[in-house]
Structures are given as structure tokens and as C-alpha cells.
Amino acid sequence: MPGYIVAIDPGLRHAGVAVLDPAGLLIAALCVRARERSDDPVALNASVSAYVTKFVRASVSADQPLEVVAEWPRVYGRGKSKGDPADLLPLAGCSSACVARLRPDTARAVRPDEWKGQAPTDTVVRARVEARLSPAERLVLQRALDEAGKTHGHDVLDAVGIALWAAGRFDPHRAVAR
């Protein structure tokens, strides 16, 4: 029996979360914010994972099968890397803390390049995500984007994209030459 899919786009102070029902339809999405006012990454991961768990448990009853798919950061070579690679460690911690708190039936990691390639979230990924959603699912996404605001909408879009990828709905559409 297929279960619910929970996708997580981790962050140090924010995390995108998306939930698909057993039919693979988007039923909930949100950008979760840490309430902790610390700079300690462990405390922040604990706070974010607590709010992710609270959101997921409000969307899915505890007795339902659950698969968590969390984005796992990837260190790229010097030419492609943005910023300090050490900044990615708390993201891995966030993914792990969320999985540990949710206690899913199955869990797996996906690297950004596996599900979206090198596409920019604000333009290309948003268009790809929206093209794969039904009108009702687009409403769920739009509510989450409105609540996240311009600063954190990309977290929601990535979480929804990861969820669609996990459900087999984010496969690239291939153009066929005639």
C-alpha cells in the first residue's frame, strides 16, 4: 500500500515541506521557520525539525505509512561551489533531524542535481512544478508561497519539486524533433 510522501528542503532557520497523499497529489506545503533565536546549528535543527513534525502530523495521521524524501546537500568543485562548503553541514543535520523526529516507514535522500539538475528555482523549477500540478494542487502551492513570502518561496517550491520527483511526477518532459 503506498503511503504519504513528505519532502523536505532543509535550511538552517527555514525548511520547505510538502506532503503528497497516497495517490500522489499535493495536499499540504509550508515554509517552516525555527522559533529558536540561537546561532547554534544543533538548537536550530531541533527547532526546525520540531515544527516540520508538527506540520506533517497535522496533515497526516500517525497511523499512515510515511516516506520522507529529504534533499541532501552536495559539495561541488571549486569552480561551481557557492560560498563555504562547511555551510552545508547544518543542512544535512536538518534533514537528519527531521527524519529522526518523523520516524517514517522509509526515508531517502536526494541531491539537488538528481531531482532538478542545475535549474534555477525562481524561474525554471517554478514553471516545471506548476506545469505538473492540477488546479487544486496549484491552490495549495499558491497558499504556501503567499505565506512564505518572496524571501522563502523557493523553499516551498523546492519541497514540492522534491515531492513530485519522489512520486515520479517530475521526470523531464522530452522534446522530440520531427
- Does this model's pTM top 0.75? My answer is yes
Nearest to 90 by CA among 35, 46, 30: 46
* φ and ψ of 25, to 5 deg: -100, 140
Q: What is the pLDDT along the chain (178 residues), one digit of tens a residue?
A: 479 999 999 988 899 999 999 999 999 999 998 887 888 889 989 999 999 999 999 999 888 999 999 999 877 666 555 666 677 788 888 899 999 999 999 999 999 989 988 777 778 889 999 999 999 999 999 999 999 999 999 999 999 999 999 999 987 655 455 5
Per the CB < 8 A criterion, the answer to whether 108 and 71 are in contact is no
Name 16's bridge partners. Answer: 9, 31
32: which residues sit within 8 A by CB, 6+ positions away? 14, 15, 16, 17, 48, 51, 52, 55
DSSP letter assigned to residue 11? -
Domain ranges of the chain: 4-166
Model pLDDT, residue 36: 75
Model pLDDT, residue 19: 98
Question: Does 4-166 carry CATH code 3.30.420.10?
Answer: yes
Model pLDDT, residue 119: 77
Model pLDDT, residue 117: 83
Rounded to whole angstroms, the Cα distance separating 98 from 74 reads: 18
- Terminal CA-to-CA distance of the chain, rounded, Å? 41
List the alpha helices (DSSP H) in 33-177: 41-59, 89-102, 112-115, 126-131, 135-166
Residue 27, helix vs strand vs coil:
strand
* φ and ψ of 15, to 5 deg: -145, 135
CA 71 vs CA 38, 62, 93, 127, 154: distances in Å: 23, 23, 11, 20, 13
Model pLDDT, residue 78: 62
Strand 14-20 relative to strand 26-33: parallel, antiparallel, unpaired? antiparallel
162: which residues sit within 8 A by CB, 6+ positions away? 7, 8, 9, 18, 69, 70, 71, 110, 115
Indicate the length of the chain as a whole number: 178
